Amino acid sequence: MATATGPTPRIDYPAPSEEPLRPEEIEAPAGQPRSRLGYLVLGAGLLLIGLNLRIGVTAVSPVLADIRSSLGLSEAVASLLTTIPVFAFGAFAFLTPGLSRRIGIHRLLGVAMATLIVGIALRVIPGLSALFGGTLVIGAAIAIANVLLPAAIKRDLAHRTGLMMGLYATVMSLGAALASGFTVPLLAVTGGQWRPALALWAIPAAIALAVWIPQMLRSPGRARRPHSVADATSESGEPPFRAILTDPIAIGVTALMAIQSMIFYATIAWLPTLLQDAGIDPGTAGWMLSFLAIAGVVAALFAPALTRQWRPTWLPIAIAAALTGAGLLGVAIAPTQATLLWMILIGLGQSASIALSLSYIVWRSPDAHHAGHLSTMAQGFGYLFAAFGPLGLGALHTATHGWTIPITALGVLLIAQLLAGAVASRPRHIRAKLRH
């Protein structure tokens, strides 16, 4: 920050405070205090948006075989339906700061939900262009909301970040579980047609948008800080996005997001195939994926809260990696025995990892401005890296004609995840050099 005697070369932030702020101490997005009901509506809106951040993607996997058979797609082309969104999560994350600066966080979150509805609806239109175009639109909408939600929680609900990040990760896992488990049953409602079955998942997004409308309509007022995830130095002297790119803590958080996401998407993409190769029927293999997601709901809810209490600080991320590793080892050694147990272990470990990754974005940021920057960095680079997970695991399986080496590769990535988590878990804020 600049002073009367000259600029300060670095910002030294104090350690995160454990004492919660009172609601009246938090700047309201419209420059007006919120009532208790106002905070409840705000929190409910954020969580409903979070619920929709995986549904549009995970709903495809259970009916991928139906899509392939009805359109005559090869396995490689069909796999793009689950790979394109992850690339979009990364690529469109970097567009979010500019968009947020122009229209504000709250309005942009509403636009993201409206765009998500459009993307889901596009998949109803016959033709490959509508199917893949809708998939890209879905990925872009989710990418924007991915970046904005941690910054919005940091700014609007700073007195409840631990609770909100836990609930955010929980509802995101819950949405994935619902989409994985209920898309096939929806085929009975839609006469066995996969297009309308996928289209029905626009309903949760429409509900989220409806609940969020009051936040979009609030008068912007006069704020003490910019209401955007800005990527340029603000009038208050806050540093630009590029200033955190070399920060060790920011790099650790980004690496953790990237590695755990790569493991997650590679596992989700190929686990049903692995189980089927072991002799499990396709229907049961699909339900195993749902159990994995359901187990993750529990881990996502409690992991952030427990993390603030456990010492050393890297212990929670180590436990998460160990749970995932134990589940993968069980799948490798005895895929048809105690399969449900392996799914539970993987679900607990992976969901705890994503919950911690998202929480570190908020906890390692001194304010909403930095939370937006760190969210852009971690999720932008992280998801671009993660998108190669399904492709890489599939290539290893094709080259080795088995699953031993691919699972071993995931084990190596878990070690890298632990190392990145050890850096990200250090209880200090990111620092950014000021530029004048």
Q: What is the pLDDT of residue 244?
A: 81
What DSSP designation does 316 have? Answer: H
* 249 contacts 430 by C-beta, under 8 angstroms: yes
Could you tell me the pTM of the whole model? 0.79
C-alpha 165: how far from chain center:
11
Query: In whole angstroms, what is the distance from residue 315 CA to residue 321 CA?
Result: 10
Q: What is the pLDDT of residue 239?
A: 61
Q: What is the pLDDT of residue 33?
A: 59
* 42 contacts 109 by C-beta, under 8 angstroms: no
DSSP of 190-245: TTT-HHHHHHTTHHHHHHHHHHHHHHHHS-----SS-SS--SS--TT-PPPGGGGT
Q: What is the pLDDT of residue 238?
A: 54
Q: What is the pLDDT of residue 28?
A: 42
Q: What is the pLDDT of residue 100?
A: 87
pLDDT in 10s for each residue of the chain, 436 residues: 333 444 433 333 333 433 333 333 333 444 455 677 888 899 999 999 999 998 988 888 778 878 888 998 877 788 788 889 989 999 999 998 889 888 889 999 999 999 999 999 999 999 899 999 999 999 999 999 999 998 888 888 877 777 888 888 889 888 888 887 788 889 889 988 999 999 999 999 999 999 999 999 874 543 444 444 543 334 344 567 677 888 899 999 999 999 999 999 888 878 887 888 888 876 677 678 778 877 878 787 777 777 767 778 888 899 999 999 999 999 999 998 898 999 999 999 998 898 899 888 888 888 877 888 888 899 899 999 998 888 888 889 888 888 999 999 999 999 999 999 999 988 888 875 434 3
Element (H, E) at 137: helix 128-156
Element (H, E) at 392: helix 388-400
Q: What is the pLDDT of residue 255?
A: 95
Inter-axis angle of helices 248-277 and 388-400, nearest 10: 40
